[in-house]
Amino acid sequence: MDSQDVEVSIVVPTYGQSTGLVRLLESLEMMDAPPPFEVVVVDDCSPDDTEAVARQWLGEAHGFPTEYVKLEENSGPATARNAGTKKARGRVVVYTDSDCRVERGWLRKLVRKLDPEGGIVGVGGSVLPVNPSGFFSKYNSVNHILEPLDSLVYLVTANCCFIRERVLEVDGFDEDVRNPGGEDVAISIKMFRKGWRFAFDSEAVVYHDYREGIRDFFRTWRNYAYGCGYVIGKYFEETASVDPTAAWHRNTIRPPLMTPRLTAFVLGIEYDECQKARVGRMQTVAFVLLRYFQMYVHYWYFRKGEVVFTGRKPFRVRCAALCRLVLHAFKR
């Protein structure tokens, strides 16, 4: 395929996941009737054999153009995606990760709802677990962790696409966010402020290989919460009271104060979701407990990220939250 024929560029940031990267690339090669596309792999200075594995696979003959970019130093997924976006040649840029695999019709279905004339500049798709029987995989699947919220205020970069020109117009992903989590929220905020909106296609499916460990689970939520708090504090510190996009503050991206009433409400939702998914009784109890601790991690690390721009110290945030909790209890 001539590079001039490329309509879609699939950008894959990767760090230390050579085995997963090959599985993803192999699934891309098996897609059914996709639009003309290229694959751009961005190696975020991996410490393992990712470079050798990627160069070997990309050096083989494929029915689509390929590019390999290696960053000079480990800089995080936001920087890697920006590097891939700049290298891309397609009108549409698609993002997924090296711990994912795609369904055969994924790319064709993901891009079909893009409508730049109608203001739809991004589309997200479904994310299902590679191992649906794993404890954490099932928990994340029940809670739709890697899928956009119903309000569609942001897309998740494990499975989404944007009009490339629009990504460049808002200066891409926020490279201040070094760990995975929050960079997709930041770019969505910037696009929302331009008046652009997103769509969702449940039939555009990727499979995510969740790590099955409690430490990895809480590390992921710590990074996500801190990153989201950081970008919310950065983009809304001065404009939250007047900017119409302050609706973000009422979104679940901003975790609620953990009052007894709100905590019970969220845990009730968790129970209902478990019932819908027909989760067993003992696993439901485990999921509800895990949800409680996830809320705790999300709440505190979000505040830690947010205070970077509010100027308050994390200790003062904790004290203020505790005082509000006590006052709320007395009011009841």
Say if 221 falls within a structural domain.
Answer: no
> Average pLDDT, stretch 83-112?
96
What is the CATH number for 123?
Answer: 3.90.550.10
In a domain, 143, yes or no: yes
For 89-98, write each residue's pLDDT tens digit: 999 999 999 9
| 47 assigned to some structural domain | yes
Q: Which residues pair with 124 in a beta bridge?
A: 160, 200
Q: Do 167 and 93 share a structural domain? A: yes
For residue range 281-307, list pLDDT tens digits in order: 999 999 999 999 998 899 899 988 888
Instruction: Give the mean model confidence (pLDDT) for residues 48-70.
Output: 90
Judge whether 81 and 160 are in contact, CB under 8 Å.
Answer: no
> Are residues 93 and 182 located together in one domain of the fold?
yes
pLDDT above 50: residue 240: no
State the residue for tokens 């792999």: 41
**Mapping DSSP to helix (H, G, I), strand (E, B) and coil, where does residue 127 land?**
strand
Comparison of pLDDT for 165 and 256, the residue scoring more:
165
pLDDT tens-digit readout, 262-278: 889 889 999 999 999 89
One domain, residues 259 and 315: yes
DSSP alpha helices (H): ranges in 35-163? 50-58, 77-87, 106-111, 135-142
Q: 3-class secondary structure for 204-267?
A: EEEEECCCCCHHHHHHHHHHHHHHHHHHHHHHHCCCCCCCHHHHHHHCCCCCCCCCHHHHHHHH
Q: Residue 150: CB partners within 8 Å, gap ≥ 6?
A: none
181 or 166, which is more confident: 166
Domain span including residue 266: 226-331
Residues 314, 205 share a domain? no
* 165 part of a folded domain: yes
pLDDT of residue 324: 57
- My answer on whether 143 and 271 are in the same domain is no
Same domain, 194 and 239: no
In the chain, the amino acid numbered 243 is D
Residues 145 and 245 in one domain: no
Q: Are residues 108 and 168 in the same domain?
A: yes
Residues ≥6 apart with Cβ < 8 Å to 327? none
Q: Which residues pair with 94 in a beta bridge?
A: 10, 161
Residue 115 lies in a domain: yes
| Rounded CA separation 261/265 (Å) | 6
Distance of alpha carbon 175 from alpha carbon 169, whole angstroms: 15
> What b-and-e string marks burial along 32-42, b requiring 16 or more CB atoms within 10 Å of the CB?
eebbbbbbbbb
pLDDT at 243 over 70: no
Which carries the bigger pLDDT value, residue 218 or residue 2? 218
Angle at 190 between CA 187 and CA 192, to 5 degrees: 110
**Boundary of a domain, candidates 212, 234, 256:** 212
**Number of compact structural domains in the chain:** 2
Q: Is residue 261 part of a domain?
A: yes
Highest mean pLDDT among 142-146, 220-224, 232-236, 250-254: 220-224
pLDDT of 300-326, one tens digit each? 999 888 888 766 555 455 555 555 555
| DSSP structural state of residue 34 | P
- Give the end of a domain, one of 181, 212, 243: 212
CA dist., res. 273 & res. 317, Å (int) = 31
What would the two tokens of residue 12 be? 């894959």
**What are the tens digits of pLDDT across the range 22-52?**
999 999 999 999 999 999 999 999 999 999 9
Residue 2 inside a domain? The answer is no
Q: Do 152 and 87 sit in the same domain of this protein?
A: yes
User: Which pLDDT value is given to residue 109?
Assistant: 97
Is the pLDDT at 256 greater than 80? The verdict is no
Amino acid type, 152: L
